[in-house]
Amino acid sequence: MSNFIRKYIKGDQNIWVIIVFLALVSLLTVYSATGSLAYSTRGGNTTYFMFKQLSFLLVGIALIILVHHIPYKYFVIFSLPALYFSILMLLVTLFSGQNLNEASRWLEVPGIGLSFQPSEMAKLALLVYVARVLAQHQREDAPTYGAFWPITIHTAIVCLLIFPENLSTSLLLGGVVFLMMYLGRVPFKNLFFTGLAGTAVVSLVLVLAMNDIVLFDRAETWATRIENYFDDEAETNEYGSDYQVTQSKIAIATGGIFGKGPGNSDQRNFLPHPYSDFIFAIIAEEFGLIGAALVLGAYFFFLGRIGVLVRRSNRTFPAFMVLGLGLMLVIQAFVNMGVAVGIFPVTGQPLPLVSMGGTSILFTCLSLGAILSVSRHYQEQLQRQLAREQNNENRQEAQ
């Protein structure tokens, strides 16, 4: 086993520890949170969803191992074709996607009956493309003028295709690209007016929906969630106006410091989607404040390792790619946890590598593989440098 790890597990070992930790948390929590779902859909087979989650995690880890051995220069080559393929898949999904949970976000793969979310693929492809364009237009101590329009046009296309069915993913992706452009020294005035235009479009759709003018099928749901978020719960009823958030808060509050123990959640029977959107509430209920803090700390620690990788990078493309993919995973995690505790309005964002769901896990693992590819490259570069220095010292001693 140790030989396998030395041969195939490369890159930042701290990131690998985080991956294993979150995967274990995922298995324990999904097994507990899917109890009611198992009785309603699988005849009481409570291990079905755990083994399904385990299979996705194992395939995901295999993908990480495979991808992190691919030199990151190949990500540059395939970034644009992958982006255009993702845009094509988003178009197909928009007009003929499967409707699950009142949203057409899924596309079925012909012949095998499996479904996936093209938006997850589009997020990965767009962020790698943005890293490529920013790297191409970097100049010494000068603003990155040429990168603005290529990035803005492609980001607008992707976000607008995702927007009608998945507002939160569209906003999250646009926000991460905005941060990448800001850190990539794109002129601030361009970013300011672009951000203003995007905010105006989203606000217009929501305001119209609140006044019964619905431009998209999902707009009414978005408006209701925003209204519930800002509603005074005390004036509605003793349980509040938003059932999901209320049940989530009950789960967190009853977990205490040490939690009720694995498999002892009560709110999993009342909380909608306790295995995906609100899985953090189940973690807090069963593992308490300590368990929730460890999960939160894992994402913070991962963000710190991303910062270390970016600082060590002597090339712009891998630095921007690691930055974009890392920010997407961490911000998505914070949004999921923020929804569970009532900081943000309800969204459909899963907790990366923890929530149940094949598409999310597999594309999260692809992102982690790309990040570890960069880490492996610099690790090997450092080892070669140390070997050269050692050889030079040996030759000097021999002389």
Q: Report the C-alpha gap between 56 and 36 in whole angstroms.
A: 21
225 or 104, higher pLDDT: 225
For residue 245, pLDDT over 50 is answered with: yes
Q: How confident is the model at residue 138 (pLDDT cuts 50, 70, 90)?
A: confident
The reply to whether 397 falls in a domain is no
**Whether 16 and 41 share a structural domain:** yes
**Whether 92 and 206 share a structural domain:** yes
**Whether 254 and 383 share a structural domain:** yes
The reply to whether 46 falls in a domain is yes
Q: Report the C-alpha gap between 200 and 81 in whole angstroms.
A: 31
**Least confident piece of the model among 93-107, 146-160, 197-211:** 93-107
> Domain boundary at 158, 187, 218, which?
218
The reply to whether 178 falls in a domain is yes
Q: How confident is the model at residue 38 (pLDDT cuts 50, 70, 90)?
A: confident
**Whether 276 and 352 share a structural domain:** yes
The reply to whether 368 falls in a domain is yes
**Whether 253 and 294 share a structural domain:** yes
**Whether 363 and 384 share a structural domain:** yes
Q: Report the C-alpha gap between 88 and 316 in whole angstroms.
A: 29
Q: How confident is the model at residue 95 (pLDDT cuts 50, 70, 90)?
A: confident
**Whether 110 and 198 share a structural domain:** yes
**Whether 196 and 329 share a structural domain:** no
The reply to whether 224 falls in a domain is no
Nearest to 158 by CA among 374, 26, 328, 281: 328
> Domain boundary at 218, 240, 267, which?
218
Place of tokens 């996607």: 97
> Domain boundary at 173, 194, 218, which?
218
**Whether 170 and 267 share a structural domain:** no
Q: Report the C-alpha gap between 364 and 26 in whole angstroms.
A: 14
pLDDT at residue 214, as a whole number = 67
Nearest to 230 by CA among 221, 219, 242, 238: 242
Residue 187, sorted as left (phi over 0), alpha (psi -120 to 50) or beta, turns out to be: beta
- Provide the token pair at 219: 């707009």
The reply to whether 226 falls in a domain is no
pLDDT at residue 241, as a whole number = 47
pLDDT per position as a tens digit, 23-37:
999 999 999 998 888
Q: Report the C-alpha gap between 77 and 203 in whole angstroms.
A: 37
pLDDT at residue 98, as a whole number = 65
pLDDT at residue 234, as a whole number = 40
The reply to whether 225 falls in a domain is no
**Whether 64 and 84 share a structural domain:** no
CA separation, residue 351 to residues 28, 196, 334 (Å): 14, 29, 8
Residue 380 Cα to chain centre, angstroms: 28
Q: Report the C-alpha gap between 124 and 158 in whole angstroms.
A: 11
Phi, psi of 334 (to 5 degrees): -65, -35
pLDDT at residue 239, as a whole number = 42
- Provide the token pair at 182: 């800001």
153 or 235, higher pLDDT: 153
**Whether 145 and 236 share a structural domain:** no
Q: How confident is the model at residue 240 (pLDDT cuts 50, 70, 90)?
A: very low
The number of folded domains in the chain is 2
User: How much is the mean pLDDT over the chain?
Assistant: 87
**Whether 243 and 367 share a structural domain:** yes
The reply to whether 182 falls in a domain is yes
Domain that holds residue 304: 1-69+231-388
Phi, psi of 206 (to 5 degrees): -70, -45
> pTM here?
0.91
4 or 49, higher pLDDT: 49
